[in-house]
Amino acid sequence: MKTITPEHLRYLPTTRAEMDERGWDRCDVILISGDAYIDSPFIGVAVVGRILEREGYRVGIIGQPDINTDDVMRLGEPKLFWGVSGGSVDSMVSNYTATKKFRNSDDYTPGGVNNARPDRATLVYTNLIRKHFKNTVPIVLGGIEASLRRVTHYDYWTNKLRKPILFDSKADYLIYGMGEGAIIALPKALERGESPNDIRGVCYIAKEPREEYLKLPSHQECLDNKERYIDLFDTFYNNNDPISAKGLCQEVDGRYAIQNPPADYLDESEMDAVSSLPFTRELHPYHRPKGSVKCLETIKFSIMTHQGCWGECNFCAIGVHQGRTIRTRSEESILKEATQFTEYKDFKGIISDVGGPTANMYGYECNKKLKHGTCDHQRCVDDTHLCKSMKVDHTRVINLLRRLREVRGVKKAFVASGVRYDLINEDKRQGYEYLKEMVRHHISGQMKVAPEHTSEHVLHLMNKPGKQTLVDFKKLYDKLNREEGKKQFLTYYLIAAHPGCTEKDMHDLKRFTSEELKMNPEQAQVFTPTPGTYSAVMYYTEMDPATRKKIFVEKDTARKEKQKQIVVAKESFKSGFAS
């Protein structure tokens, strides 16, 4: 007779009772997150927990601890270290809009009400641990909130430069980026009684600089001189690749923030191994009395095909956090995951998404980059052209999508992740075939693309392709839909109030969407300057980082909102436009 494991024992423990059922007197590692405990390969803390479990460690998770009680103590004190994350989304971005209004909903909180994730969650949780556990084991920060704040950074919500987060949090270490390699090496070092200070992908504070590392401008220099802050960010940005990056060192009030070189990327077999870990793809039963989490509607039956993005949009932090080199899973691993979906009672045959940061970057990379690392003198793609060394090839992703459609029990496999339309245009051999496959089989009524703007000088500052690229793509998309007898639409992500953007630029964008795209945008987002992006550097310094020339930056909240309203207004585009 088959033994059925009680549901709560299929998760990592989040209560003392679950530890007792396993016969644990103590966890080796306790992970604390700004999200509820969602056991999914799309949730960073769950991935870290499952990796550590695979390595033989006893791991507990406390999702969204009550900060007004001693809830953080419910699993006791770990043997090796605490892991602290603000959650899948930066807590300040999660809690506030671009115009600094509080968000009422949270897709990672049971019941959907935004009442469980504190501002600056990483700092709050670290302080809670310090309050309740004196002289405790090391506290290790991770996740996007910490990763993007590991050096001096502009903080939009206080409108000032803040110190590296290790100095504000009083944590012991920080693991940056995706962290899979470092999270295995760190507990092993602690078990042996060794210092983690030489582990790749780790940051820490030291009394002395590391002479072999690149010296960043000090925190005080950045405060005194905005150009020195640009210098810091240039060096920081150009040292994120495991092959080419150097270690970094920054003086902060007489001590030093040390950033070791990045951890090596996972290869294909390692990517497959992480994807095959025993995720339940559900919210832990502990949280369910408070309601469901909205994010599961999207991620439960979605497949992540790869990590990384070399698109390098200046307002996006993916390149700094995930990296600018694509790491793919094998087709067999992806097909196996799709087959496993059919074993779930609530699977209706629909895969919500097959993709990654950019869906059509799956399966190819620049051979030069794979050998030597990312270039520090040029980008793979900029606002005018694609590097000749990057050979766009949709062959592998086309074959993957075709094989997914053949999986028994799969009715539809949608691609909801972002697609770079300029890469479709660029691929003269397979771009047309890829888009035809998408139009025929993988679009749920509308395809989302992200031109963001149409004014050339704004697109240049965003590092996005020119508007003619969009026009050419739309013609091809419309043609294929007519041929297939489908009425599928394009929806467009647009940004207002990006550095360099004026009200006139938004009027021009409105005119373009009406005359060229034959549509009235229903939504646009106001630009948010988030750490780890060149656009945030522009917002703070009011300079183009490449030329150091002054640029216009809209900083008035009401005028930012006005820029947005210009493009989404329902009235005729001809009325009231600037000349």
| Annotation: binding site for [4Fe-4S] cluster | 309, 313, 316
Interhelix angle 557-568/503-515, rounded to 10 degrees, is: 10
Give, as one character, the DSSP assignment of residue 445.
S
Distances (CA, A) of 566 to 181, 226, 391, 508, 528: 47, 32, 39, 10, 18
CA distance 26 to 30: 10
With beta carbons less than 8 A apart as the criterion, state whether 177 and 199 touch.
Answer: no
262, two tokens: 């990045």
Distances (CA, A) of 375 to 238, 240, 246: 8, 11, 13
CA distance 533 to 531: 6
SS3 132: helix
With beta carbons less than 8 A apart as the criterion, state whether 351 and 298 touch.
Answer: no
Q: Give DSSP secondary structure letters for 459-501.
A: HHHHT---HHHHHHHHHHHHHHHHHHT---EEEEEEEES-TT-
Which helix (H) or strand (E) segment is 396 a member of? helix 395-405
Which residues make up each annotated binding site?
A: 309, 313, 316
With beta carbons less than 8 A apart as the criterion, state whether 39 and 11 touch.
Answer: yes
SS3 content of the chain, % helix, strand, coil (to 5): 35, 15, 50
CA distance 360 to 434: 9
CA distance 486 to 443: 11
Length of the chain, in residues: 579
User: Strands, DSSP E only, in 339-396?
Assistant: 350-351, 353-355
